[in-house]
Chains A and B, each alone.
Chain A
Amino acid sequence: MLLRLAWRNLWRNPRRTAIVLAAVAIGIAGSLLSMAVNYGMVDQMVRTAIETELGHIQIHAVGWEDDPKLERMLADGGRAAEHVLASGPELRASTRRVRVDGLAISARGSAGVAVMGVEPDREPAVSVLRDALLDGEWFGQSRLRAVIGQALADQLEVDVGDKIAVSVQDALGELTGGGFRVAGTFRTSSSDFDRSTVLLRLAEAQQLLALGGAVTEVVAVARDDDEIDALAQRAVKSLGGTAEVRTWSELQPLLLYMVQTFDMMAWYLYAAVFIAMAFGIANVLLMSVHERTREIGMLRAMGMRRGQVIVLVVLESLLVTIVGVVSGLGIGFAGALALRDGIDLSAFAEGLASYGVAPRIAPVLRPSDLLIPLVVAGITAGLASWWPAIRATRYRPAEALRRS
């Protein structure tokens, strides 16, 4: 009965209610879209890092994280780690790599680079590097081929087919190097990665670095984001102290921090929007309660308790807010759907790439985008209505009935 009365009371003054509803709905829709685009950007940074280099988890020899030197290698070629990973249901794909710092030199320039030996046939299952090919081919059939970032190619002033020298320190501590012909160039969403990466075949990198069959890391991706922790835990449990197992968030804590910061920002943004709205809601309720002083006196005379009158006013506030929030979420979701192919920011492509963000950003909506506005709105509506509700019951019934 209180709910029915509260709902009908809202529509006594449809224009006033519509203004409150519109304010709540527009605030929510704007916040939702803004958060979705921002989170889309962060999500893309994380995806870029995972898909170009990190994978979901990496397994290294013990001590690699503190001091990534070639002597800290997986001497069995990562076979044990891959066996453990493949023994459960969570794994989508894995591959082995060798990674070492080095120098890339061309006839016209040089650059400090990360030299990565990859398995050409398995690497595409864990990263987007082959799909990011801009020119040339993914290693091809000939020996001693390299695939490099287009930004690095530009810096070295080389094209596909040109030769570069790669200089590194091998596992024995000796400076060594080799010549490789550029088979292809790639462009990912991370300009840093493109500027500093040389990919070689794993076997050729092992030979160059005098590693024998050893690798420096095993990279794996889980079937689903929710399975990353389970995959990592199984690897930790099985490999024990013989290897270091790290998830992407442990390898790049800054990315995790950014995700957490944006999660927190959502609460602050919605709280700010609703605190502003709370004053509007309270104002409308105060007017509405003031206009109904006599009627509230009548309700009390009929036997309605003070607490029931308070609940009635709180319900009116909750209803108008919830209808506004649901409408706002609907508009926001529709907006996000309309922008699902992404917002074209190619005018800022260079700047975005330096943060690992592609020039087209698609909004990303999460369950919390539904939950947070509802929770914050519920709390705000309750608080905003408290004062009007108390005012509604401040008079004894006789005094309220006397007022016009």
Chain B
Amino acid sequence: MLLEAVGLVKVYDTRGITTRALDGVDLEIGEGEFSAIAGPSGSGKTTLLNMLGALDVPDAGLVSLDGQDYSSLGAAEQSELRLRKLGFVFQAYNLIPVFSARENVEFVMELQGVPPAQRRARAEEVLEQVGLAGLGEKRPLEMSGGQQQRVAVARSIASRPRLVLADEPTANLDSKTADSLLELMHQLNRDHGVTFLFSTHDPRVMEAARRVIRLQDGRVVGDERKAAS
């Protein structure tokens, strides 16, 4: 199993008001999956994704990637795990505005210490895969939302992570751009074996996903696997 979560609990206490965002979530994600965590706002999708991506720590329960338990890792080792094994796509793109598209894509590889020529070649290859060939020197603010999200996808897969976690990746996009982006990620999954796990409440994403894990009030209330298309 690529990713495994057991009994995840996360409680937020905001000015004395306690919210149980995750209430004992068990989950397994296999290699090559194209899955979505679906649910209404406040169901705990983003919180769950944060726990799975080692961006936050649960109050109870365990998460492991490739059998490596997050709770056994220090902060620096968790950074290393995110750097080497995980890719992220955020709803608001979250690109570095002072870097060009190519530099954004190269960023994770730079952190990994990949030699310049190698990472440049890989960045150009990935930008071509996401349909942005020739736009590498543009800065994020010179690009449309759809193009920026494609750069974010390119960045997330450039270093060939084990798993890409995408938090509401289509939420800020119009339907045409969202469809195009979904098709792109589907293609990356199909042709290059990239494992994707989305959080979403977008019906198009749920429809595109081969597995939909339904979350409500911090609990898994459904896990639907579709036949391979």
Contacts and interface: CB of A to CB of B under 8 A. Distances in A.
Q: Is the interface of A mostly helix, strand, loop or mixed?
A: helix
A300 B82 CA distance: 9
Interface string A297-314: 011111111111000000
Contact of B97 (A12, A299, A300): A12
Interface in B76-124: 76, 79-80, 82-84, 86, 88, 90, 92, 94, 96-99, 107-108, 110-112
Nearest to B107: A302
B98 A303 contact: no
Contacts of A5: 96, 98-99
A1 interface: yes
Contact of A298 (B50, B56, B86, B94): B94
B83 A303 contact: yes
A11 to B, nearest CB: 8
A237 B41 CA distance: 91
A301 B88 contact: yes
B79 A305 contact: yes
B57 interface: yes
A298 B108 CA distance: 11
Nearest to A397: B55
Interface residues of A, number: 24
A398 interface: yes
Contacts of A122: none
Contact of A303 (B50, B79, B92, B96): B79
Contacts of B99: 5, 8
Interface hub of B55, B76, B80, B155 (most chain A Cβ within 10 A) = B55
A401 B90 contact: yes
Contact of B56 (A1, A295, A302, A399): A399
A298 B90 contact: yes
18 contacts: A1-B110, A12-B98, A299-B96, A301-B53, A302-B83, A303-B79, A303-B80, A303-B86, A303-B108, A304-B79, A305-B76, A306-B76, A306-B79, A307-B76, A397-B55, A398-B55, A401-B50, A401-B55
Interface of A: 1, 5, 8-9, 11-12, 294-295, 298-308, 396-399, 401
The 3 closest A-B pairs by CB, nearest first: A303-B83, A398-B56, A8-B98
Given A301-B53, A398-B50, 8 more contacts: A1-B110, A5-B99, A295-B94, A301-B82, A302-B108, A303-B82, A303-B111, A397-B55
